[in-house]
Amino acid sequence: MRLLVVEDELDLSRIVSTSLREEGYAVDVAEDGEEGLYKAKSWDYDVIVLDVMLPKRSGWSVLAEVRKLKPTPVLMLTARDAVEDRVKGLDGGADDYLVKPFELKELKARIRALIRRSAGQASSVIEIGDVTIDTAGKTVTRDEVTIDLTAREYSIVEFLALHLGKVVSRSTLYDHLFDEDDDSLSNLLDVHISNIRRKIGKDFITTRRGQGYQLE
């Protein structure tokens, strides 16, 4: 899953983005509202984490412009704890709201919930035959045996599982699983798909030639 973190407090931005990358997310960052809006318009993110108080353009303004174009889930961050601010954010199109200071584990849980909700998945557990994907614990088991996946391999499995039955193109996988610093022209995706099949089963991911990949 690819996230955008728009935060002008550099230490907080670094801590949040590093922690999210350790969870296997692809993370782009922006330090002001103008840069955040540009990136939000340019790529299709799974979640945007958006601070309210930003240089150049406020989080409210960024949210308003994004909502004219995309339904991307937006989680607002703010140091303000006034009810009026929370109402303003939610009525303005924000999907969730988190007041600073916050615990990273709560931020991650809220991001996971937004991703599930966006995909129409109510439960954190997805079962596909004898394979179980736990999006909260970020684990995959087959016949109750845990499969040892890398963070990127797990992200691919989760993304395909959240789009169960649908063909997902290679370009979509690159857009949602690799950040702006990754080399999207490499064969990384092929390597990861091959490894997943070796670990879970060769028939787990179906290749639709010329179209992409699918979990059925």
DSSP 100: S
**% of the chain beyond a pLDDT of 90:** 53
pLDDT in tens, 125-184: 999 889 999 988 899 999 889 999 998 899 999 999 999 889 999 888 888 887 777 665
* pLDDT classification of 20: cutoffs 50, 70, 90: very high
For residue 212, the model assigns a pLDDT of 87
Non-local (6+) Cβ contacts of 21 within 8 A are 27
**% of the chain beyond a pLDDT of 70:** 97
- Selected residue with higher pLDDT from 175 and 80: 175
- Selected residue with higher pLDDT from 190 and 82: 190
**Average pLDDT over every residue of 193-206:** 91
pLDDT in tens, 92-114: 889 999 988 899 999 999 999 99
* pLDDT classification of 186: cutoffs 50, 70, 90: low
For residue 183, the model assigns a pLDDT of 60
CATH class of 2-118: alpha beta
| pTM score | 0.85
* pLDDT classification of 69: cutoffs 50, 70, 90: very high
Non-local (6+) Cβ contacts of 85 within 8 A are 52, 78
- Selected residue with higher pLDDT from 112 and 122: 112
Q: Which residues pair with 132 in a beta bridge?
A: 127, 141
Residue 131 and residue 177 in contact, taking contact as beta carbons nearer than 8 Å: no
Domain boundaries, the chain: 2-118, 125-214
Helix, strand, or coil (residue 97): strand
H-state helical runs in the chain: 10-22, 33-42, 59-69, 83-91, 104-118, 151-162, 170-177, 188-200
CATH class of 125-214: mainly alpha
Give CA–CA dist 50/82, Å, rounded: 17
Non-local (6+) Cβ contacts of 158 within 8 A are 1, 133, 135, 138
**Average pLDDT over every residue of 70-94:** 84
